[in-house]
Amino acid sequence: MTPTNHPVTPLTSASGSQPLAARPRRLRLPRWRRVGYLLLLLAALAGVAMLGTSVAPPRDPLNARLDHLTTGLRFDLFRWEIDALTGKVGDLLSNPATGLAPVEADALVRGYIDAAQRAGELEGDIERIYSDPQTADPEAATAGQRAELATIRRQLDEQASTVEAILQGQLSQIIRQEGLGTASTVWPPPQMRFTEPPQLLVVSPRDRIQRLRSVDLLADLDTADRGRLEEIVQEEENLSAYVTGIGGYGVFPTMVVDRYGLPWTAETIAHEWVHTYLAFRPLGWAFLKGGDAVTMNETVASIAGEEMGQMLLQTFYPDLAPPPQPPASETLKPANDDGDTFDFGREMHATRVAVDELLAAGYVEEAEAFMEARRQTFLENGYRLRVLNQAYFAFHGSYATGPAATDPIGPKLEQLRELSPSLNDFMHLASGLTSAAELDEVLAQQEALAQPELLRNEAALQ
């Protein structure tokens, strides 16, 4: 659906407004809470300013060399934070969602996301035409698409603050419902911006898969720029490098891409909010140390974000919510599944296992040749992987519930969620962890607590 053909219009009577008695409950933020959030944002703004002027993280030689290699390509997070926080202060003062009935908010959010998806399709079409050597005049060939894209982008810019405020309020309701806030306050408050997050340069040693460093890069780097930077890092540092786009960024306010549909958006804004929640707790503090804490942070955010995102859909957009999943023991293999269908998750996991084995045996060049051969296989099966190397696995493996991961942290955290009576209990336990050893200890405690209940259930069935 495009906004030019299907504009979002409020549902009103012929006179342009609803009868007073028939108007549904409005989405309003209490004045005292608006003042509190405003003070929070002003404090965050001051903190960012002080951080940028007086505090610099310690630099090691690798950081310094990567800074040199990415000169002119790095994303300015400090400037973005100043602009975004200033905009959020303005939003809190104007409260753009005030006066919207739930049915109007629903229509506005759906219309915005549909328009953003259309914009993403147009951007992809334009990029393909410009990259096609057979197109003599790409500017003329894309004139219609660029005009439509400009119209959509203007509409999205006008509506973004209102849609953000609606989704922030809806997520706040889910957070309070799950006991992660009080009846009147959620900390930290969900604050988001629809924007293109920075691209990320990830580097890993070649002889093992480990996320050594990551650097925020400009959001609009093209494919050629990404490839050149990866080659330079490998040649000059003898490291594996991977530049990737990301769908969200857990700063404050969080960054979220708007073009992948409402189910994805709901899960992503929840995922990124979990990162801000963890930032005030031991697991978030441990993130700065790297290692297992990075994987634990990302995995907790993935587990909780998916769950809260589905709750948001079920509450506000039930037609888009996924159907309930049966227990794994009740899930049957489809009768027509002969095992020949190319399964991305299965194949990527098998690739990761084989690469780990080759690297552990010291076969670095053989592992790299194997990954390139596997990349070609993925391409042949419709998966456009630009890069498949150690740094790719170092990045995607930090999400320990994904197919590129082999780390046992993912299954352990999933088991901890299964043993936790509620999402609130899981978040309380997980956010207090700082290491994989602590995860093992807490998991053993929860298994011991659950054992009597399991025995009672087994006895009842006999």
Smallest CA-to-CA distance from 268 within 285, 295, 250, 251 is with 250
pLDDT at 113 over 80: yes
> What is the predicted pLDDT for the residue at 49?
42
Amino acid code (one letter) for 266: A
- Show the tokens assigned to 436: 């994989």
> What is the predicted pLDDT for the residue at 461?
60
Most confident of 54-58, 129-133, 327-331, 348-352: 348-352
Confidence of residue 312 (pLDDT cuts 50, 70, 90): very high
Structure confidence by residue, pLDDT tens digits, 397-425: 866 556 666 678 989 999 999 999 999 99
- Flag the least confident range among 32-41, 253-262, 404-413, 446-455: 32-41
Q: Are 442 and 427 in contact (CB under 8 A)?
A: no
Confidence of residue 27 (pLDDT cuts 50, 70, 90): very low
Phi, psi torsion values for 75, nearest 5 degrees: -80, 135
> What is the predicted pLDDT for the residue at 127?
85
> What is the predicted pLDDT for the residue at 1?
35
> What is the predicted pLDDT for the residue at 289?
82
Q: Which residue has the higher pLDDT, 230 or 341?
A: 230
Structure confidence by residue, pLDDT tens digits, 197-250: 999 999 999 999 999 999 999 999 988 899 999 999 999 999 999 999 999 999
d(CA 371, CA 361): 16
> What is the predicted pLDDT for the residue at 38?
54
> What is the predicted pLDDT for the residue at 39?
55
pLDDT at 382 over 70: yes
> What is the predicted pLDDT for the residue at 95?
82
Q: Are 227 and 84 in contact (CB under 8 A)?
A: no
pLDDT at 35 over 80: no
> What is the predicted pLDDT for the residue at 424?
97
Q: Are 311 and 177 in contact (CB under 8 A)?
A: yes
> What is the predicted pLDDT for the residue at 13?
31
Structure confidence by residue, pLDDT tens digits, 42-51: 555 445 444 4
> What is the predicted pLDDT for the residue at 20?
30
- Average pLDDT on 304-315 reads 97
Q: Are 351 and 371 in contact (CB under 8 A)?
A: yes
**For 113, how many CA atoms within 13 A lie in the half-sphere containing its CB?**
19
Give 74: exposed, middle or buried? Use CB within 10 Å, 0-12, 13-18, 19+: middle
Smallest CA-to-CA distance from 184 within 6, 30, 51 is with 30
Structure confidence by residue, pLDDT tens digits, 101-111: 999 999 999 99
- List residues bridging with 214 in a β-sheet: 202
Helix 344-360 with 364-380: angle, nearest 10 deg: 170
Confidence of residue 453 (pLDDT cuts 50, 70, 90): low
Q: How many of the other CB atoms lie within 10 Å of CB of 57?
A: 8
Query: Which residues have CB under 8 Å from 91's CB, separation 6+?
Result: 161, 164, 165
> Three-state DSSP class for 175?
helix
Q: Structure pTM?
A: 0.80
Rg (CA), the chain: 24
pLDDT at 81 over 70: yes
